[in-house]
A = this chain, B = another copy of it.
Amino acid sequence: MGFLEFTVEAEDPSSKGRVGKLKCAHGEIETPVFMPVGTQGAVKTLDPDEVSALGFNIVLANTYHLYLRPGHETVRSLGGLHGFMAWNGALLTDSGGFQIFSMRDLVKISEEGVRFSSHLDGSKHTLTPELSVKIQEALGADIIMAFDEPVPPDCSDYYAREASERSTRWNERSRRAMTRSDRAMFGITQGGFSPDLRRRSAGQVVDIGFDGYAIGGLSVGESKEIMAEMIEATEPVLPKDKPRYLMGVGTPDDLVRCVARGVDMFDCVMPTRNARNGYLFTSEGRVAIRNAKYAKDPGPIDPECGCSTCSRFSRAYLRHLFMAGEILALRLNTIHNLSFYKHRMDQIRDAIREGSLGEWAGRLERE
């Protein structure tokens, strides 16, 4: 349908992991890929050149936030989101559903769409599949996501099924609403926490036909085992020649385990949000930089890391900046955590090419 080419270049005989290339309007992306989150048109604390320098060439932005502020028509008039935020890489926008449904008690769902109040000024809005696609086209995302309804882990089987069926119809309406042939659209499979429902949803969404497929509604509090079970139910239904995107996942080890289950794309606020809270990912586990034991520590965050933070600054300095409330701390931490995630994806692709990803993932499962 839309503008997207996906080629699988290598498969891991020991798992379902594959290395691929994803070509879209703004460049070519190696998969498996992790996409940093730029909710409001900026990867928090970083400027776009820093994101590039870290080796990322695709970023996620949030439709809900940009629709409310500054508004998609404003962004369109300023060169689309690419021009607005001075980002020459690829952009994927979510459909806005996830943010709205995370305020579930405050929204009204109907077949048409979802009515909600802005968290900024209380104004009333109705987001429909058609409006979501219109906003995303105005933003100019390379990859547009269909509008869907994720369900919370504690919802009834009855409701999960109803929401899953509605998501299928919303996927179909999103598909029909798409007008730009220079952009791509991914469908989103749902199905709550039932393998049967997951299979059925995936089958329906694949029947509609998209440039790629997302597994939605996971990483909302369920256990690792249930997440794995849902991916395993969905994956065989998805066409092998299209990219698969697991939304909102996850920890560095989740990335290994989920690529081994056939996932190609990820996004998550974990590296950036943890950074701003002073939690740093390292080859030796997570470091809480505020810990007093780092007060005089001359070493880098991670001796195995070559990022621009680790190559210049000690744990002692980073702790000082963090304790002193210096904004620079948040950026230096973000650079390190994103660098760790980028390196993790490089390692995963290498493991696939070497045929050792299955072993790595298995080791993590047993831990």
Footprint of B on A, CB under 8 Å? 40-42, 44-48, 65, 69-70, 74, 77-79, 84-86, 295-296, 298, 312-314, 316-317, 319-321, 323-324, 326-328, 330-332
Contacts and interface: CB of A to CB of B under 8 A. Distances in A.
Contact of A320 (B41, B44, B323, B331): B41
Contact of A321 (B42, B296, B317, B331): B42
A296 B83 CA distance: 13
A323 B41 CA distance: 12
A298 B86 contact: no
Given A312-B86, A313-B86, A295 B70 contact: yes
A79 B321 CA distance: 16
Contacts of A312: 47-48, 86
How many copies the complex holds: the figure is: 2
Given A70-B316, A74-B316, A332-B47, A324 B40 contact: yes
A323 B70 CA distance: 9
Contact of A74 (B40, B65, B296, B326): B296
A295, A298, A317: most-surrounded residue (chain B CB, <10 A): A317
Nearest to A46: B328
Contacts of A330: 327
A142 to B, nearest CB: 19
B86 A324 contact: no
Contacts of A332: 47
A70, A295, A330: most-surrounded residue (chain B CB, <10 A): A70
Given A86-B313, A316-B70, A332-B47, A40 B78 contact: no
Contacts of A46: 328
Contact of A314 (B84, B313, B319): B84
Contact of A295 (B47, B74, B314, B319): B74
A203 to B, nearest CB: 40
Contacts of A70: 295, 316, 319-320, 323
